[in-house]
Amino acid sequence: MGNQVSATTLMNRSFTEIVDCKQCPVTLELDAVYRVSQTMADSSDMRETLQNVLHQLQTQGGLDRGMVTIVEPDTGDLILQLLHGEGTAEPTREITYRPGEGIVGTTFQNGRTIIVPRLRDEPRFADKLRIYDSCLPFIGVPIRIGNDTIGVLAAQPTVDSLDRLEEQARFLEMFANFAGQVVKLSWNLVQERRYLTAERDRLRRQVSRQFGFENIVGHSAPMKRVFDQVRAVAKWTTTVLIRGESGTGKELVAHAIHYNSPRADQPFVKLNAAALSDQLLESELFGHEKGAFTGALDDRCGRFEQANGGTLFLDEIGEISAGFQAKLLRILQEGEFERVGSSTTRSVDVRVIAATNRDLEADVESGSFREDLYYRLNVMPIYMPPLRGRIEDLPDLAQHLLSRISDRQGRQLSLTECGVRLLMRYDWPGNVRELENCLERAAILAPDNVIDRDVIVLTGMEDRIMSRGGTLVETPTNFNDPDLDERERIVAALEHCGWVQAKAARLLGMSARQIAYRIQTFDIKVRRI
């Protein structure tokens, strides 16, 4: 037992001591490998790791004035990346080697190690750096990634010992393998960063398109007013209250404000406050500490912390209870809060955009909504008009929605003029959301990808118009309009003549048989008035 060494003692001794206490050359090389591998594990910086490679070559391998050159993919030339050792300094200009130029360029071109016993006897030596001793040897080895040579690792033995050159060359080749792995990792990181940057920029462009002003469709006077207000308020941090009926696009306006503001690169976080109890709402907005309540298994940051530096969209703000309104008022006024179960005060910088379809003035009057919170939220009100209040926007809006439906269904859908005229007879209590649902149902019922009046009728539109006190009598379209196709022209003529086929035929210069044939061919559903 007296001569045995315990496992714990071995673990506490250095790597070098375990291999060979006399520091033989093999031990030095192994220790150098160990140290370089540690650097590779601890650092993702290519220059730092390669610098350590050159340092180990000098201190453990007797190889001084180490240099690393890496190929430039665009030009094919070798670019000096690093120098280390006696007499070296950062070059004041870029040092390059063409393939086949000097010992370095020849090593790269041939992909084989070159050992020069004495530099003064080697005519290929370019001596661009002016640091090497012409009386000493020189070794250059290729740096490879797989079968591809991507650079050269070169150094000069510190003593003129010809019997050790082969051994030192193998030592240099071993470290060239390390260098190849380091460069590969670095290139992979660069490629991944480029991919992530490109993906980030692509997503930003996509988000900008998806939530830009162009997605808020409308040319009517009420919508022009909305556009003017959104553009004016987007560049500030002012609290915004978006008001309007359900389905008018309040969330879309909130997105447009955020993504056209200086905070566009920061988070946009949203929460619908209507469906949550006070306890859940407090946890969702402010977060909670582990053990704060049953089920709080971990610390959790709330929506305000998630939106720090960006925007928080609180939908249905008029639905929160009077008890919670005071907690919300504090963070709006001071930007401070505590997580549930914590006494630590936290601060955030969040722009709040709220939305509601309630009459907050009436709620303030009745006492169900705090007056001070109302004024804190209502700094910049934006009123979204109902669809029936801007019915002239419906044709453009329908085409925009139909384009989205076409993308989802993977086919090109179209909406006829007759279909648009029928849609404009309805008052749309569900606003834009109801219009999109109607068009999606019509798309399902349109096997030929054309949504016309007859397809929309199949969705039950006529019944809904009549049930809401509407009328099916429409302003006839000019059947001589050159933009109408033949089917729409016949339908327009029939509407103009009260669906009397003989009169429509005379207007169109057709016989009764011709118009009857076209009605059958185009599958026009003849109305009885």
Kindly report, residue by residue over 334-376, the tens digit of the pLDDT. Answer: 999 999 988 899 999 999 999 999 999 999 999 999 999 999 9
Tell me what the mean pLDDT of segment 420-433 comes to: 92
Same domain, yes or no, for 140 and 255? no
Distance CA 318, CA 322 (A): 10
CA–centroid distance for 141 within its chain: 43
pLDDT of 481 reads 73
Give the chain's domain count.
Answer: 3
Question: 185: domain CATH number?
Answer: 3.30.450.40
92 burial via Cβ count (<10 Å: 0-12, 13-18, 19+) = exposed
pLDDT score, position 317 = 95
Please report the pLDDT score of residue 1 as a whole number.
Answer: 43
Q: What is the DSSP secondary structure assignment for residue 158, as one 8-state letter?
A: S
Give the least confident one: 3-17, 28-42, 250-264, 323-337.
Answer: 3-17
**Mean pLDDT of the chain, nearest integer:** 85
Task: Categorize the per-residue pLDDT at 13 as very low, low, confident or very high, splitting at 50, 70 and 90.
Answer: very low
- Higher confidence at residue 181 or residue 2? 181
Closest CA to 452 of 464, 465, 439: 439
| Residue 49 included in any domain | yes
pLDDT for res 93: 84
Q: Is the pLDDT of residue 189 over 90?
A: no
Query: Is beta strand 311-315 parallel, antiparallel or unpaired with respect to 268-272?
Result: parallel
pLDDT of residue 241: 97
What pLDDT digit, counting tens, does each position of 72-97 carry? Answer: 988 999 999 989 887 778 777 899 99
Examine the fold and report which residue of 385, 412, 436 is the final residue of a domain before the chain moves on.
Answer: 385
pLDDT, average across residues 405-421: 92
Structure-model confidence comparison of residues 152 and 198, the more confident one:
152
- Based on the fold, state whether residues 292 and 404 are members of the same structural domain: no
Residue 202 lies in a domain: no
Q: Based on the domain organization, do 263 and 412 belong to the same domain?
A: no
Among 161-165, 353-357, 464-468, the range scoring the smallest mean pLDDT is: 464-468
Please report the pLDDT score of residue 465 as a whole number.
78
Note whether 363 and 404 are same-domain residues: no
What pLDDT is recorded for position 493? 84
Host domain of residue 139? 15-189
Residue 492 scores a pLDDT above 90: no
Residue 21 pLDDT class (50, 70, 90 cuts):
very low
Boundary residue ending a domain (352, 385, 418): 385
Q: Is the pLDDT of residue 197 over 90?
A: no
Q: Is 220 contained in some domain? A: yes
Residues 367 and 446 reside in one and the same domain:
no
User: Within a domain: residue 319?
Assistant: yes
Is the residue at 59 inside a domain? yes
Q: Residue 266 falls within a domain, yes or no? A: yes
Q: Tell me, what's the pLDDT at 4?
A: 44
Contacts 24+ apart (CB under 8 A), 124-130: 126/97, 126/101, 126/102, 127/102, 128/95, 128/97, 128/102, 129/67, 129/80, 129/83, 129/88, 129/91, 129/95
Residue 22 pLDDT level (bands cut at 50, 70, 90): very low
User: At 33, is the pLDDT very low, low, confident or very high (cuts 50, 70, 90)?
Assistant: low
Of 220-234, 288-302, 362-376, the one with minimum mean pLDDT is 288-302
- CATH code for position 297: 3.40.50.300
CATH of residue 395's domain is 1.10.8.60
Q: What's residue 322's pLDDT?
A: 87
Spatial distance between the Cα atoms of 338 and 321, rounded to a whole number of angstroms:
19
* 337 and 252 assigned to the same domain: yes
Residues 281, 304: Cα–Cα separation, whole Å: 12
Q: Name residue 243's amino acid.
A: R
- Residue 4 in domain: no
- pLDDT of residue 497 exceeding 90: no
Angle made by CA atoms 182, 187, 188, in degrees to the nearest 5: 100
Q: Are residues 55 and 162 in the same domain?
A: yes
289 and 321 both lie in a single domain: yes
Confidence of residue 37 (pLDDT cuts 50, 70, 90): low
Whether 312 has a pLDDT exceeding 80, the answer reads yes
Average of pLDDT values for 422-450?
93
Same domain, yes or no, for 372 and 392? Answer: no
Is 488 a residue whose pLDDT tops 50? yes
The answer to whether residue 231 sits within a structural domain is yes
Q: Examine the fold and report which residue of 385, 405, 430 is the final residue of a domain before the chain moves on.
A: 385
**DSSP labels, 297-329:** -S-EE-HHHHTTTSEEEEETGGGS-HHHHHHHH
* 321 touches 278 (CB < 8 A): yes
Distance between CA atoms of residues 68 and 179, nearest Å? 9
**pTM exceeds 0.85 for this model:** no
- Residues 167 and 54 grouped into a single domain: yes
pLDDT of residue 207: 66
Query: Higher confidence at residue 204 or residue 155?
Result: 155
Q: Are residues 448 and 402 in the same domain?
A: yes
Task: Check residue 32 and give its pLDDT.
Answer: 58
Q: What is the pLDDT of residue 6?
A: 44
Asked if pLDDT for residue 24 goes beyond 70, the answer is: no
SS3 content of the chain, % helix, strand, coil (to 5): 50, 15, 35
Choose between 40 and 310: higher pLDDT: 310
Give the percent of the chain with pLDDT over 70: 87
- The answer on 219 and 120 residing in a single domain is no
Residues 121-134: what's their mean pLDDT? 90
